Structure 1
Amino acid sequence: MVHNSQIDKASALVEAARKAGADSADAVIIRSRSVSVSVRLGKVEATEASENDDFSLRVFVGKKVASISANLSADPASLAERAVAMAKVSPENPFEGLADRSLLVKNPKDLDLYDPFVPDSERLTEEALEIENASLSVKGVTNSGGATSAYGSGGLVLVTSDGFCGSYQSSRFSYSCSALAGEGTAMERDYDYTTALHHEDLDKTTKIGKNAGERAVRRLNAQKPKTGTVNVIFEPRMARGIAGHIASMVNGAAVARKTSLLQNRMGEQIMKPTITITDQPLKKRGNASRPFDGEGVEGMALNIIENGVLEHWFLSSSVARELHLQTNGHGVRSASSVQPASTNFAIEPGNQTPEDMMKAIKTGFYVTELFGHGVDLVTGQYSRGASGFWIENGELAYPVSEVTLGSNLIDMLSHLTPASDIDRRYGTAAPTLLIEGMTLAGK
């Protein structure tokens, strides 16, 4: 996937930038391949394939920076000259620059991110049909929303004028399925999916199809409970969204822009003392692992929140300089800059099983789907449409739909309790979560 010719191309770009007058430079080449097959009602609906080879050159002239992107056939010298010319007329940014040379990783780790198995379209079609057949076999399923099997692979090369030269490649496989139950206005839809870097780590095709069908059937004959304050349990699939909001709030770029709710809370207790939130860039086979970040720095394993106390931001070099800190290797290359981001981010599990957590609730709401975009990460306001199941005396009583959940993210953090279950295959992972005292708008 990653060839010496690509490394040579990136090196040539950096060298051309120096000759054109850049004080320093780096070049990134990203190669991606993907293919997917979607079926519906036993027939292939779509077969899609794509191939992309892109690179970007970033040059620095003093504290001025510019970036240019093109395809691999472009002439390095002319691109470098254009990039340097752009940088010279750009405004100065005192925080821009390559990562500190002393922080560059010398020997990037092999994280087992690449599976050499490449399924052909026939194999993908067979898998998609197996998924759909499993969903249609569920009693109560009346139609199919379709099923998809997909494969992708990618490679990344990074070369800097400070002597870093690194590359890695990864693969990705996924299954998904959507099923419908009921008829007419009473029809309900639900889905299931699985994704992994290695094919053998995927859930079985029949499991995905069956889960999608069973989830759709369970949603039939939904009711709307009364408006009030309730304790809410988020199933892991929805809990990952809560984790994603937290990851955004601890992003150093948001802190530097003064748009993070937590910007003045470093070192403070913001969650219960039993809660720890981690980020693991170097996890073997991790869905979001990388042996080095977008600047050539090995990512640090972080306890972002430890025993409920906020301990770290995600940092790239430029953001770290702005905050008078040192990068922790969480920079991701975008078109014109490197911005911090999470890797394998997880709300660590607690000691209570999801079953015991539910048994302790007299009345409450178990959320299986959220929709809408009513989350403001600046003000903290949280308002989203939701569906799921009403909890009575510690058990699921009946399906719920067309309600709205409201709260404030800061309050949600302080009233959050994780259960003991977690699926770490996802780049953002969370167990079942209980959040006490949310507002439910129903009938």
Structure 2
Amino acid sequence: MLKSLTHAMLQAAREAGADEAEALALRASATGIDVRGGRLEHAERAEGIEIGLRVLIGGRQANVSGADHSPETIHTMARRAVAMARSAPVDDSLGLAERDQLARDRDSTALELFDPGPEPDPKMLEERALAAEAAALSVAGISTVESASASYSERESWLALSNGFEGGHRRSQHGISCTAISGAGLRMERDHAGEGRIWASDMPTPEEVGLLAGERAAARSGAVKPPTGAFPILYDERISSGLIGHLLAAVNGSAIVRGSSWLRDAMDMQVLPKGITLHENPHLPRMSASRMFDAEGLATAPRDIVADGILRGWFLDLSTGRKLGLDSTASAVRGLGSPPSPGVSNIVMTEGTQSRGDLIAQMGRGLVVTSLLGASINPTTGDYSRGASGFWVEGGKISHPVNECTIAGNLRDMLMRLTPANDARDWRNIRVPSLLIEGMTVAGA
């Protein structure tokens, strides 16, 4: 059905006067169960089919989307899209790929993106959520569980382009999460654990997730503000991928084209310490960001974004590549109602040789950050400031939990001073270990 819908949209776009067109059809279903206090708190089920159409006319484009996929609606959408495109500004970089650029291997079976096992019913999901909640409550010091949930979703998509490309993916996702609270009144502290996998057999047990949430929240009991000064900071592997995410955002072709990136002039320059590589691999099995082709029908392939600390590539779709005089890196992603834009697939960072504990011992006195909130980040200069909480380190050992502090620095300087641990976890789309960074500013008490 999805395939026939995309063909109908392309035909309607041609009849309405489009030069080129992209059609996307999506079928999705999701079930989520939340429990609290040993009882069902909320249950939700959503499913449906949605469609999206992008038309191009003489360097102009427009996008439309909808949940009604009747023939009348499809023709109305096509006519409106063409009318909108004719009123849009001209952008000479717009246009579909040439036929010889299109991916030939479109079979994603080897990526194992869909679990063929039975779909968990609501009762099973409720049992998982209740098990996670009970495990969290079993931890000494936990006063309550704010929420525990279990979910399952399926998503199937089909993309067809007027240049002859078509292909699709079918994906599944199992999830469990839990948020626990320790203490009471003004001394309450909250922490969380959550896991998601494509295959049920790869999931941790609900009890493991709940225990981890409880242990994390209990460890935060009695948190105080840290001192103010310049200290080493260790980004725990829970949040270290966000730090590397700032680098990935800075090498996104959209930011480079706008000139709004703090790495806009850094190609072939040192951006990480020697020996560290950021490797993109869109073909990792059982990972939600894996794909054989991008949203413009180009074949994806593994590559190094940073090699031995040297920046080697941007993330480009066809449009940003043409604006920069470069080829697309097959990085295009898109939604139903938006045009393609550069995105990121699976990223694996080089690990170090030392454990997280070894790096904490080296710190002497400093801060282990396990949670970040808010952000003041200048995308042009890389100036960085974020609220943080975690644990204070004295004498190379964790001393006590801390909260209500701000950490600051400049991303370019910070990333050049990092030391990775060896604790990166599988099943993360951006796989980054704990990172020790010397000489950041901490504003606390």
Q: TM-score, length-normalised on structure 1?
A: 0.96
Between stretches 7-16 and 33-42, larger displacement belongs to 7-16
CA distance in 2: counterparts of 1:79 and 1:377, whole angstroms? 37
Residues 172-200 of structure 1: per-residue CA shift (max 9 Å, x gap) = 11111011111221121111111111111
Conserved in 1, the CA contact under 8 Å of 2:222 and 2:401? yes
Q: Which amino acid aligns with 1:275?
A: I
CA distance in 2: counterparts of 1:82 and 1:138, whole angstroms? 58
- Counterpart of 1:114 in structure 2 is 114
Conserved in 2, the CA contact under 8 Å of 1:279 and 1:303? yes
Q: TM-score, length-normalised on structure 2?
A: 0.96
- Counterpart of 2:4 in structure 1 is 8
Q: Among the aligned pairs, what percent are the same residue?
A: 38
Conserved in 2, the CA contact under 8 Å of 1:225 and 1:400? yes
Is there any run of 5+ residues in structure 1 with no aligned partner, and where?
none
- Counterpart of 1:381 in structure 2 is 383
SS at match of 1:122: helix
- Counterpart of 2:247 in structure 1 is 246
- Counterpart of 1:58 in structure 2 is 54
CA distance in 2: counterparts of 1:406 and 1:386, whole angstroms? 10
SS at match of 2:33: strand
- Counterpart of 2:174 in structure 1 is 173
1:139-288 residue pairs with structure 2 within 5 A?
139-288=140-289
- Cα offset for 1:77? 3.0
Conserved in 2, the CA contact under 8 Å of 1:25 and 1:60? yes
- Cα offset for 1:225? 2.6
Residues 119-146 of structure 1: per-residue CA shift (max 9 Å, x gap) = 1100000000000000001111111112
- Cα offset for 1:74? 4.7
- Counterpart of 1:364 in structure 2 is 366
CA distance in 2: counterparts of 1:171 and 1:375, whole angstroms? 34
Q: Which amino acid aligns with 2:395?
A: N
Conserved in 1, the CA contact under 8 Å of 2:231 and 2:439? yes
Conserved in 1, the CA contact under 8 Å of 2:406 and 2:444? yes
Q: Which amino acid aligns with 2:114?
A: Y
Between stretches 123-132 and 277-286, larger displacement belongs to 277-286
Is there any run of 5+ residues in structure 2 with no aligned partner, and where?
none
SS at match of 1:322: helix
Residues 335-376 of structure 1: per-residue CA shift (max 9 Å, x gap) = 231000101123231222212222222111111111112223
CA distance in 2: counterparts of 1:17 and 1:59, whole angstroms? 7
SS at match of 1:97: coil
Conserved in 1, the CA contact under 8 Å of 2:234 and 2:436? yes
- The one of 401, 406, 412 aligned to 1:404: 406
CA distance in 2: counterparts of 1:229 and 1:134, whole angstroms? 39
Report the count of equivalent residues.
439
SS at match of 2:239: helix
Q: Which amino acid aligns with 2:82?
A: V
CA distance in 1: counterparts of 2:56 and 2:219, whole angstroms? 58
Between stretches 193-202 and 341-350, larger displacement belongs to 341-350
CA-based RMSD: 1.4
- Cα offset for 1:296? 1.0
- Cα offset for 1:148? 0.3
